[in-house]
Amino acid sequence: MQKVQSILSASQWDFLFPLRNDVYSYDGFLNAVGKFPAFCSENAEAENWSGIDMCKKELATMFAHFALETSYNSLWEVDNGSQTPLWRQGLHFIENVDCTGGNLSNAGCDYHDYGWSDDYWPNQTGEQYYARGPFQLAWNYNYGRFSNIFNEGAYDSKMALLENPDLVHQDAFTVFSSALWFYMTP
C-alpha cells in the first residue's frame, strides 16, 4: 500500500478519474491494495525492473482496464469543450451498462454457467452474475471463487456473493478487492 501511495496521491486519483462513481474512492483502492500485498511486487526482478517501476506498470495496466470496463466513454464530453478526455472517464459505471438496474432483457446479461461449475458454484434462484465492479467480475464461478477469498474463514464463504452478487459493489474496499483479485488470479 505504501508503494502505491508513494506513486499515486489522492489528488492524482481525482485527476485520473473525475467522472467516477462515489464507490470508487482512493482510500478504498488503497485498502484493497493492502489486502493483496503481491500487487505491485510481482516479477520486478525477473523483468529487471525496480519495484517502483513495476508498480507504475501494474497501476497503468490496471487503470487501462478500469477505463475500458467502466468508462463513461462519452465523445460528447470531449467534443464539446469538456476537459475530460476518454482516458480519464474510467470508474464511472459499477455494473455492465446493458444490465444496470436489473435490465436483464439483453442476452449479454445472463452469466450463469449450468455446466461444470454449477455443482461447486451453484447458481442461486433470482440472482444474476453479470459484470460488476471496476474489472467487471462476471459468472457464478468467479463470484463464488472471489467470495471464498474475500470472506475467508466465514461459514460457507463461497455462498456470500453467490446469494447476493450486488455485495460486490457495496463499498469501495469490496469493489476494489474484487478487481485486484480478478487481476491477480491466473
Domain segments of the chain: what residues?
A: 2-88, 100-170
Report which residue type is found at 116.
W
Class of domain 100-170: alpha beta
Distance CA 111, CA 123 (A): 10
pLDDT band at 87 (very low <50, low <70, confident <90, very high): confident
* Signed CA dihedral, 39, 44, 45, 51: sign only: negative
Distance CA 26, CA 172 (A): 8
For residue 31, how many other CB atoms are within 10 A of its CB?
17
Q: What is the pLDDT of residues 35-47, one digit of tens each?
A: 998 888 776 565 6
Q: List the one residue out of 16, 13, 49 whose CA is nearest residue 30.
A: 13
Report which residue type is found at 120.
Y
Question: Is the pTM higher than 0.85?
Answer: yes
Q: Is residue 21's pLDDT more than 90?
A: yes
Q: Count of alpha carbons within 13 Å of 13, Cβ hemisphere only? A: 18
Q: What is the pLDDT of residues 114-140, one digit of tens each?
A: 777 778 889 898 888 889 999 999 999
Mean pLDDT throughout 77-102? 78
Distance CA 66, CA 45 (A): 26
* Residue 57 grid coordinates: 506498470
Q: What is the dihedral of CA 183, 136, 119, 35, to 10 degrees?
A: 40
Distance CA 104, CA 96 (A): 10
Distance CA 37, CA 177 (A): 12
Distance CA 1, CA 124 (A): 35
Q: According to the model, what pLDDT value does residue 110 have?
A: 74
Q: According to the model, what pLDDT value does residue 20 have?
A: 94
Q: According to the model, what pLDDT value does residue 23 have?
A: 97
Q: What is the dihedral of CA 27, 29, 30, 31, to 10 degrees?
A: 80
Q: According to the model, what pLDDT value does residue 105 have?
A: 67
